[in-house]
């Protein structure tokens, strides 16, 4: 049989394999999956200049930093999650970075009681508070990244430009584990609580 003679046979075979459809009906589309928060690599965070991150200002209590409106963040970053959250090696490195740069004020266990805290007003934040686990959920990572990049106005929390993006994300991965396992298991609920507390 020639190739030309095979064409009609192949066409019939292909048609037989297509799913039957009723006349006048269009194929049903698959439901689009709900988009998950993006966890861009540290290079994407590095592409945002430090000056583009908002300056968080301390007002109305120690938790004021959690009220930073997502629309103040660089566009798109409010949906970013920390790419190093599940990276144990990064969290271990983050613990070392924390010991070198943060423990003096925030304390070795992150309770805000470091030897350098003294009579600071406001006092250094206690990272072990259960609500802090919610900062693992967007926009928390971007808010914390802004704080590490720019500091908090009106406090002794300074910026850390000497830390690269990977180091900043690693220390964030470490401190957001400090509330403990039970708080981390409920982190989505805490994140929703923080969003509800944020002024509208």
DSSP letters for 5-24: HHHHHHHHHHHHHSPP--TT
Q: Is the peptide bond before 139 cis (omega within 30 degrees of 0)?
A: yes
- Percent of the chain whose pLDDT exceeds 70: 70
- Classified as helix, coil or strand, 56 is strand
> Which conformational region is residue 82 in: left (phi greater than 0), alpha (psi within -120 to 50 degrees), or beta?
beta
State pLDDT tens for residues 135-171.
898 889 999 999 999 998 888 899 999 999 999 999 9
Residue with the two structure tokens 């004020």: 105
Fold of 42-197: Cytochrome Bc1 Complex; Chain D, domain 2 (1.10.760)
**Among 96, 90, 91, 128, which residue's Cα sits nearest to residue 111?**
128
């Amino acid at each position: 049989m020639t190739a030309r003679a095979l064409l009609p046979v192949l066409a019939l075979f292909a048609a037989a394999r297509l799913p039957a459809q009723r006349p006048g009906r269009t194929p049903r589309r698959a439901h689009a999956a709900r988009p998950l928060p993006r966890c861009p690599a540290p290079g994407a965070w590095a592409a945002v200049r430090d000056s583009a991150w908002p300056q968080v200002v301390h007002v109305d209590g120690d938790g004021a930093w959690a009220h930073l409106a997502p629309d103040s963040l660089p566009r798109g970053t409010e949906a970013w999650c920390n790419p190093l959250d599940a990276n144990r090696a990064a969290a271990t490195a983050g613990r070392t970075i924390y010991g070198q740069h943060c423990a003096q004020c925030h304390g070795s266990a992150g309770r805000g009681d470091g030897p350098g805290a003294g009579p600071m007003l406001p006092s250094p934040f206690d990272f072990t508070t259960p609500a802090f686990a919610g900062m693992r959920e967007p926009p928390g990572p971007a808010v914390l990244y802004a704080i590490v990049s720019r500091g908090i106005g009106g406090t002794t929390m300074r910026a850390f430009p000497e830390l690269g993006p990977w180091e900043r994300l690693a220390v964030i991965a470490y401190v957001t584990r400090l509330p403990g396992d039970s708080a981390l298991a409920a982190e989505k609920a805490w994140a929703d609580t923080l969003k509800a507390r944020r002024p509208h």
